[in-house]
Amino acid sequence: MKKNRIAFAALAAASLVMALLTGGPTVAAAQAATKPLIGLTFDDGPSPQRTAFVLDVLKQKGVKATFFLEGSHAQQYPDLVRRIKAEGHVIGNHSWNHPDFPDISQASQKLQIDRTNAAIKAITGEAPKLMRFPYGDSTPYATNYLKTIGMSGGVIWHWDVGNPGDFECPGATRVQRYVMAEATPGAIILLHDAGDVLSCSSSQWAYLAKTIDALRAKGYEFGVVAPSATANPINQGSPAVVVAPAGG
Ligand SMILES: [Zn+2]
């Protein structure tokens, strides 16, 4: 798959050169190969109330995303975890039960990470490579610990405009406005399929399909989050990037 993609990119680049040389109309082909990626991420799940709905919409729209799971929820709803994995989404660690890491002991921080990795590995056969701290709040201890176990330390998100996010229950139109305002090539977008959003009006969920369509209309395609060795300035210095989904 990777080979094909590289070959296609090379072909598109060659077409672009030809187009520039000949003035021909093959620029569109080159643009198709280089669509900017955006990464939708869903935190705090899985939840029996909303995760299946989110997965249904993503499947219907042909979108792959990244789910940062709480270990306690993963253990409680293993079928949803299996479905997330089976449908080609990426799974990350979002702690066991969502404490603010700066408020808990180092031993507890380690346990929050380890227990969640173990629970997810027991269900999917694979431990996560990505960590997102609850509230985005890391500690030097936990960040260093992640490195020692080969995980990417602390995936944050693009947050330039700061409109109310989905967890603040602003309604479908304003969640869409928030996402569109934060959309930029390589942006990691913070959304939720559990936690605070479960208290929002269910009509808010109409944002998801509409926002996916609106992002595509702006020329974006959807990627998943992957570890990166360098800090990514687009997403508050996260050691992570948005990449094309495997096999996509
Ligand atoms: Zn969270």
CATH assignment of the domain containing 166: 3.20.20.370
Report helix, strand or coil for 11: helix
List active site positions. 43, 192
DSSP 135: G
Rounded Cα–Cα distance for residues 68 and 71 (Å):
9
Q: Based on the structure, what is the number of domains in the chain?
A: 1
In angstroms, what is the span from residue 34 Cα to ligand 1's centroid?
A: 32
Q: Cα(79) to centroid of ligand 1, in Å?
A: 21
Residue with tokens 């869903």: 42
User: Which H or E run contains 231?
Assistant: strand 224-232
Q: Answer yes or no: is 94 within a domain.
A: yes
Residue 119, pLDDT score:
98
CA 199 – ligand 1 centroid, Å: 14
The verdict on residue 101 lying in a domain is yes
- The Å distance, Cα 17 to ligand 1 centre, comes to 46
pLDDT at 8 over 50: no
Are the beta carbons of 168 and 130 closer than 8 angstroms? no
What's the CA gap between 140 and 142, in Å, rounded?
6
Compute the distance from residue 217 Cα to the ligand 1 centre, in Å: 29
Domain encompassing residue 48: 5-19+39-197+214-243
d(CA 24, CA 20): 7
**Residue 47 DSSP SS3:** coil
The mean-pLDDT minimum among 2-16, 36-50, 122-136, 184-198 falls in 2-16
The answer to whether position 31 is within a domain reads no
Buried b / exposed e along 26-56 (16+ C-beta atoms within 10 A) = beeebeeeeebbbbbbbbbbbbeebbbebbe
CA proximity to 132, closest of 143, 144, 118: 143
Domain presence at residue 70:
yes
- 188-227 per-position pLDDT tens digit: 999 999 999 999 999 999 999 999 999 999 999 999 999 9
Asked, for residue 137, whether it belongs to a domain, the answer is yes
